[in-house]
Amino acid sequence: MAIDHPHEAVLRRLGRGAPLSEAERRAVEGLPLRIRTLAPRSMIVHQGDPSDTCCAVLSGWVGCFKILAEGRRQILAFHIAGDLPGLQSLHLGTVDHGIAALTGATVALIPHAALHDLVERHPGVAARLWRETLVNVSILREWLTGLGRRSAYERIAHFLCETYLRQRAAGLAEDGRCPLPLTQTELADALGMTSVHVNRTLKDLRGSQLIAQEQRTIVIRDFARLSAAAEFDPTYLHLPPAPA
Amino acid sequence: MAIDHPHEAVLRRLGRGAPLSEAERRAVEGLPLRIRTLAPRSMIVHQGDPSDTCCAVLSGWVGCFKILAEGRRQILAFHIAGDLPGLQSLHLGTVDHGIAALTGATVALIPHAALHDLVERHPGVAARLWRETLVNVSILREWLTGLGRRSAYERIAHFLCETYLRQRAAGLAEDGRCPLPLTQTELADALGMTSVHVNRTLKDLRGSQLIAQEQRTIVIRDFARLSAAAEFDPTYLHLPPAPA
DNA sequence: CGACACATTGACCAGACTCAAAGCTAGTGG
DNA sequence: CCACTAGCTTTGAGTCTGGTCAATGTGTCG
């Protein structure tokens, strides 16, 4: 589906909240997309490289990250279907972070030039795209807060709440269960901890009956208690009102 | 100066890199600014409030932060003269974080409506403003990386490098010395540590002959070694090429 | 069946936190 | 002009969360 109608994913995301006008819709549909199917762990953009394309995730998980000395890595964001990583580089030219597929994934590459053109002609679309980057920033700020001021236990709980809601909004999750195709090492690199400690903390969360794990999916057994433990407030995700 | 010609600060910032066109310049000068002089610790925007204004810092230090339970606070960004905090809310309506003056400060408040209008008429200005928010995001990502993967020592060293370069680019610092009008508690809340540990770590940095402190200014005694210790790479600040 | 990557567990360690008590310093009011 | 105060900085002693190192399970895929 995503691959047959790649513009759909972008349109759906930009139309979140208020629908696009007919002209805007057509303009977005006119974007030249280059579809790429990616193997797990394949690089999309290298840290520090100049970049002249954005990228829309159609399926799979994509991650942004920075590499430091001594093999340290910080994952800055996870992106799922509908997300637009790489908008960061639109007005900066270079990305100071890498972008890679974490799972098998399909993405659509969009040249900056096409976006600049689109944005110049359709201020309404510009506003949507801008808004989209601002939502990502909002999430980044929440992560920053977690790394700075939340315990490991709260941090993981918070992350799970976030991941569930984001995936549900993208139609990828429901009934308290959602895919979590990440290794504990990846989770650790996102949450500023070690994989060992992620493992122990997940065990604690299972012990508290807050979650359960089944192969690569996570089951949230008690969202209310989990979000209370995490001091989770979904406002920052700026999602449209939840479905009934 | 800043108060006599409040538009200057904004113009200078937006013109960083490539100069604005004459029409764009006039449009920016036409922005309705409401100047406010703020006492230290006074709130500008409350966390969670709807917001219909942006804010340009003319002088002093302004901070963005989130408050958690049990008195925990995470400072998300420091803003100095020329910075535009609150652009975050331009397309979101609410800010999920508070904004406050940390020192005595003067700011110019700009209604969103005026900015939307400006942006619609001048895509070039929109691009500059957008770019400006992207630079802030870039800094946010670097902070995230620091909180997740740098030791306290590296983190403070990194922050000092950043603060010095940003202030120098704003014409507020030179010769390796710059104002640092923050309490150790504020530093701690920004860097995800306790004030006690900030104190001890600053002592270590002084002991290593990397910095010195004089009342409210910091002296960087060896920028090369300091930035090496922090693994600091200024690219993410997206500053114009340094002056000779 | 191996090989390899990932998850899990144990034992031990250390960087950073907590609690608490002094020093400083700048501003205030007598 | 000086004592007083309030807020900040500095230091010490002890604790704890989370990291390190290393071994052992557990799948999964060719």
> What's the confidence (pLDDT) of residue A215?
83
- Express each pLDDT in B109-153 by its tens digit: 999 999 999 999 999 999 999 999 999 999 999 999 999 999 999
Chain B hits for A238, Cβ within 8 Å = 92
DSSP H/E element including B102: none
Considering only CB atoms, which chain A residues are within 8 Å of B137? 88, 133, 136-137, 140
Residue numbers in A 180-209, CB below 7 Å of strand C: 183-185, 195-196, 199-200, 202-203
pLDDT > 50? residue A244: no
Do A139 and A236 meet the contact criterion of CB atoms below 8 Å apart? yes
Distance CA B224, CA B218 (A): 16
Residue B236: closest C-alpha in chain A: A96
Q: Tell me, what's the pLDDT at B244?
A: 45
Which positions in chain A touch B231 (Cβ < 8 Å)?
A: 68-69
- Contact state of B144 with A144 under an 8 Å Cβ cutoff: yes
Which residue approaches D8 most closely, CA to C1'? Answer: B183
pLDDT higher than threshold 90 for residue A125: yes
Closest CA in chain A for residue B136: A137
Other beta carbons within 10 angstroms of residue B145's beta carbon come to 27
The pLDDT of residue B243 = 59
Q: Would the pTM count as exceeding 0.85?
A: yes
B183 CA from D1 C1′ (Å): 30
Is there contact between B183 and strand C, defined as CB under 7 Å from any strand atom? no
What average pLDDT does the segment A69-87 reach?
A: 95
Q: Are A82 and A1 in contact (CB under 8 A)?
A: no
How far apart are alpha carbons B161 and B169 in whole angstroms? 12
The residue behind tokens 């917001």 is B51
The pLDDT value recorded for residue A14 is 92
More confident residue, A88 or A145: A145
pLDDT at B82: 95
- For residue A2, what pLDDT band results from cuts at 50, 70 and 90? low
Give the pLDDT confidence of A174-226 residue by residue, as tens digits: 999 999 999 999 999 999 999 999 999 999 999 999 999 998 999 999 999 99
Cα(A153)–Cα(A131) distance, integer angstroms: 31
CA distance B192 to B148: 10
**Confidence (pLDDT) at A243:** 58
Give the residue ranges of chain B where pLDDT is below 70: 1-3, 242-244
Q: What confidence score (pLDDT) does residue B18 get?
A: 85
Name the strands in the sheet holding A105-111, side by side, starting at the edge strand that comes first in the sequence: A34-38, A105-111, A53-59
Q: Where are the alpha helices (DSSP H) in chain A?
A: 6-14, 22-29, 112-121, 123-149, 152-169, 184-191, 195-207, 223-230
Residue-averaged pLDDT of chain A: 94
In the prediction, which pLDDT does A44 show?
95
Residues linked to residue B64 through DSSP beta bridges, in sequence order: B77, B99
Question: In this predicted model, which residue has the larger pLDDT, B16 or A57?
Answer: A57
